[in-house]
Structure 1
């Protein structure tokens, strides 16, 4: 069933190009939401997270689908490198909190939080999946400590999100 859902999403996306409205250099919209790290619920506010360093904010369509699982595992494996570069990773999805709790434990492997992308957040970051508005596009933003977006990668293929985000975070340290 998961493969069917994922294949359907990919097929729908192939018909229309994906673009992110938020451009490099603009201020990232602040937000507050609920998230999960290692299956434990917590409140998350972007402004507070940025006090600790740059943030990789990546939106993914649906927990436990093939691409989202592979992407989350790749981010979890790369967490030592993100931490070394001083950055945090936060996954965002429109999934319900109970699903995100399970996903944070099973697929993110307790390495980073995933949080609820509310309709307000989805709209602010322009990540609505046009073909299935209840889902988000796969979009990664790297946000520097000042709250400016320094990198946007908007591609439904999961494979380059980690490497591009990590390169952008490393460039901030130079």
Structure 2
């Protein structure tokens, strides 16, 4: 069952781009958070999306929000991707696709491409926005506008 607007983000654990264990309980319910699922490290659309989140990261931080990227790439792939593009936020490895299943992220293009979906949750961990679009860079302004509305 896919998560819907109004649902609470469930607790989960995953490895981050530094090889550390990430526990969602460390952030969910404590501050606004943007989880964005993307298909693959180092592809043109995903790189543009990650760099757009990077370029606006301070704006998210100014509103007290955190940004976290999630794909099925390995920890090592995430580490290289984050270093290469100087990404200031965590990337989580979902190589067993448990997080995609947990959130209900569908595949696109006849099931060939992992979905590109952004979730924005408020201070209580309640989803305020689910944005599903193959348009990589359109996620960032939508997420930021939702964060702005939540905190103002």
TM-score, scaled relative to structure 1: 0.80
Q: CA RMSD in A?
A: 1.7
1:151 to 129, 140, 143: 129
Q: Does residue 28 of structure 1 match 2:9?
A: yes
Alignment check: 8 A CA contact 2:30 2:124 kept: no
Report the 3-state secondary structure (helix = DSSP H, G, I; strand = E; otherwise coil) of the residue aligned with 1:34: strand
Which structure 2 segments of 5+ residues have no match? none
Following TM superposition, where does structure 1 have runs of at least 4 consecutive aligned residues deviating by more than 3 angstroms? 130-133
Map Cα deviations across residues 19-51 of structure 1 (whole Å, 9 max, x no partner): x93221111121100011xxx332111121125
Report the 3-state secondary structure (helix = DSSP H, G, I; strand = E; otherwise coil) of the residue aligned with 1:64: coil
Report the 3-state secondary structure (helix = DSSP H, G, I; strand = E; otherwise coil) of the residue aligned with 2:123: coil
Tell me what 1:126 maps to: 104
Larger radius of gyration: 1
Aligned length: 150
Question: Structure 1 residue 132: deviation in Å?
Answer: 4.1
Tell me what 1:76 maps to: 54
Change (3 A) 1:28 1:50: closer
Map Cα deviations across residues 100-154 of structure 1 (whole Å, 9 max, x no partner): 11111113x1311100124221101111415346x53100000112111011100
TM-score, scaled relative to structure 2: 0.91
The 5 Å alignment of 1:1-150 reads: 21-36=2-17, 40-107=18-85, 109-117=86-94, 118-129=96-107, 131-132=110-111, 136-150=114-128
Report the 3-state secondary structure (helix = DSSP H, G, I; strand = E; otherwise coil) of the residue aligned with 2:137: coil
Which structure 1 segments of 5+ residues have no match? 1-19
Report the 3-state secondary structure (helix = DSSP H, G, I; strand = E; otherwise coil) of the residue aligned with 2:15: strand
